[in-house]
Amino acid sequence: MPKSLVIVESPAKAKTISKILGKDFQVKASAGHVRDLPKNKLGVNVRKNFEPQYEILKDKEPMVEELKEAASAADKVYLAPDPDREGEAIAWHLSEILDLPDKKLHRIEFNEITKDAVLAAIKAPRRIDKKLVDAQQARRLLDRLVGYKISPLLWRKVNGRSAGRVQSVAVRLICEREAEVEGFVPQEYWQIKAELSRSRSKAFFTAPLSKWQGKRVIAASEKSTAQSMVVDSKKLADDIVKKTQKEDFKVSTVGEKTSQRQPQAPFITSTLQREASTFLGFPVKKTMQVAQKLYEGIELGAEGPTGLITYMRTDSTRVAQQAQEEAKKFIVSRYGKQYYPEKPRVYSRKGKSVQDAHEAIRPTYPDRTPESLRQVLKPDEYKVYKLIWERFMASQMASAEILTRTVEITAGDALFRASASEKKFPGFTIVYDRLSKDVIADSASEKTEEAESDEDEEAGNLPELKKGEELKLKELKPSQHFTQPPPRYTEASMIKTLEELGIGRPSTYTATISTIIDRKYVERQQKALCPTKLGQAVNALLVEHFGNIVDVGFTAEMEAKLDQVEEDKVDWRGMLKAFHQPFAETLKKAEENMNKVLILSDQLCPTCGQAMAIRSSRYGQFLGCVGYPECTTKIALTKDGKPVPDDRPSEEVCTTCNSPMVIHYGRYGDYLLCTVETCQEKRPILKKTGVDCPRAGCGGFIVEKKSRHGKVFWGCSNYGANECTSAFWYPPLTGGGPGGSNFCPKCNSMLIYKTLKRGDQIACSSKTCDFAQLITGQETHA
């Protein structure tokens, strides 16, 4: 009997869906796009109404043949790429390549990879949505026209790597913020705080000066009005202190106010990326990679691969009714009826760019708590799942009730104010109490002094006071402050800004930030995104010669038009034509008028003493003498943009000729190189632990290594050679364990040092031995 064929993008997704559909279905993966514009030419026939010239990707040719063969043998073919524009385009490209009759070809989509969702999709197939395909095509061709035409010009004029419709706007925003930071002039201002207590109490509380002579006291960064003032000098601060400390301090007003704190909406792509950056320190690329795994399916023992979250590329906060009901059942059961609101919460987002085709990001099974999955999830998967689960569950819960007490204290012309808040009912905060809201404080520079609230004290510090009560002054403390420059963008705040400006879409944020960093236009300094000299030079040229291309308003307008293509309100070819005509004229003028720009480094040429300029090649950046071609001196640069170091001596000896070896820097970093030119033996630098390989007769030793995914592990120096497979996720113990030995007292295997959240421990490296012991502080590890 012929089977039905289901085609998805990834092998992981294929595995999960295969488990759900069973033996009557064959599930295969295309591994992403199978067809695209050519790499070595424009691939858009402008004269033939912007006809794209697609070709099958070289590395996908065997896969395409395999899919064709499977499709011809199947009775039905279901195309099941992701439920978005990109997924629809992949489905369309597959349909064009497979060239099957309409009655045999079906498009299905699901927002979550669960049994109910997949089976429902199989029962309700549809035709490919050409409007979605056209929207993706228009975006791809627009990006190709901009990038393919401007990038060669940048190569010639400034050694820039590339330009892009969205990436260049992001670089401009970062460069403009850097100019604001560099040009910032700090302003002085003073705060005055009174330390007070009740007349017979030794417990003091703090109350900041709120008004002076009837005017509200503000920080220098706040907007000034006729009814406000800034204490802008030590002289004025001292004068206020001198006059006020002679006065009687009396409570003038006492007030209480109960308010409700509402939970935040469940995650969309951008808020997940921002929250993971803020609270987990994850780059956006890492967050999306982990979320993709959670969506496509995680191995859950006997259950097999199971999708744990809904589709992670979405800008909708909508939640399916069934998910709401499951969440309600869990909340009432776990926390009680009082923790569920009177009616289910409904979240909606307004804005032209919001696509409401999908749900918010949520757990597929609300009753699968993070703790219940901790043993089967990897640490990063657990962290991201916990973030998603807690945010979703909190979004369905009752509000928190906050009681705020405010006290105003008069002393002559001065009025001091102190507030204290306490939770009367925790509500959703019992699950999720991260106070990020819409303001993401994700870099130290963002926490400006003037943004700190001094009025709001801990509830326990502010005593119960009565109107008219006289207070005892301990001290009046004036303190000097300066306004802070605007914070540099972080990945999180950059995403937030792009989203607010209507630039890019959930599926493009990760690629945009990764590209500008990979192109060396921007670099990370801790969490801040800072422009490089190359980035600033490229941005200056683009702003001067392609002002509209890197204009925020123009880019947002183009995004809106691409959305209108999807809504069938704008013809995609007509949109490209309207863009291309003025763009071609701008490009021609730029080619005629753009001058070559040299980006000078701080390094001087060791040969002739002239300046060295930063240049680019297909292998990366290097320093070249400005005296070229008369002086051809070049200095290679490391990945960090620093001159490559000279060879350094090592203690290693060449195994071929017994000569000394040096530490040499190469394309992939430091390695060991034989000093004899005719030998040239090369070896990786091993981080030794001083522990011999436990495998009998191996003769190797345990060293620190990295997996192909960059994860650190410890393995034998002969790992991969001589068939030695000794490898461990934790370092070997080197300082002596129980009885002073580095070997297990139960089975005599090597001991390892585990760093765990519940406490560090010494454990046996053998999987068949259960020996483990909490550390005492005397042990050491590699």
Tally the C-alpha atoms within 13 A of residue 257's C-alpha that lie toward its C-beta: 10
Contacts of 755 (CB under 8 A, 6+ apart): 730
- Order of all β-strands in the sheet with 77-79: 25-29, 4-8, 77-79, 105-107
Strands (DSSP E) contained in 371-469 are: 400-411, 414-425, 456-458
What does the CA dihedral 466, 471, 477, 483 come to, rounded to 10 degrees? 20
Query: What tokens appear for 113 in the block?
Result: 């990879």
Containing 592, the helix (H) or strand (E) segment is helix 572-593
Nearest Cα neighbor of 517 from 232, 216, 284 is 284
| E strand or H helix at 71 | helix 61-73
* Helix residue spans in 159-306 (DSSP H): 167-182, 234-244, 269-275, 284-296
Bridge partners, residue 419, by sequence? 406, 456
Exposure b/e, 563-580, CB count within 10 A at least 16 = b: bbbbeeebebbebbeebb
| Spatial contact of 195 and 475, defined as CB atoms under 8 Å apart | yes
Number of CB atoms found within 10 A of residue 417's CB: 18
Distance between CA 228 and CA 449 in Å, rounded? 19
Q: What is the Cα–Cα distance from 470 to 50, expressed in whole angstroms?
A: 81
C-alpha torsion 42→43→45→46, nearest 10: -40
Angle among Cα 628, 634, 636 to the nearest 5 degrees reads 150
Number of H helices, E strands in the chain: 16, 36
Indicate the DSSP class of residue 126. B
Integer angstrom CA distances of residue 599 from 181, 532, 535, 603, 607: 21, 10, 10, 12, 19
Whether the bond between 629 and the residue before it is cis, its omega within 30 degrees of 0, is yes
* Three-state DSSP state, 528: strand
753 is an active site residue: no
Q: Is residue 27 within 8 Å of 34, Cβ to Cβ? A: no
For the chain, report the end-to-end CA distance as a whole number of angstroms: 59
Q: How many C-beta atoms surround the C-beta of residue 128 within 10 A?
A: 19
Distance (Å, whole) CA 229 – CA 231: 7
> Helix, strand or coil for residue 197?
strand
Please choose, from the candidates 467, 494, 349, the residue with its C-alpha nearest in 3D space to the C-alpha of residue 405: 467
Contacts of 257 (CB under 8 A, 6+ apart): 403, 404, 406
Which of these is catalytic: 54, 295, 311, 340? 311
C-beta separation of 623 from 612 below 8 A: yes
Phi, psi torsion values for 128, nearest 5 degrees: -65, 135
Q: Which of 480, 452, 463, 450 is nearest to 409 (CA)?
A: 463
DSSP SS3 for 614: strand
Catalytic residues: 311
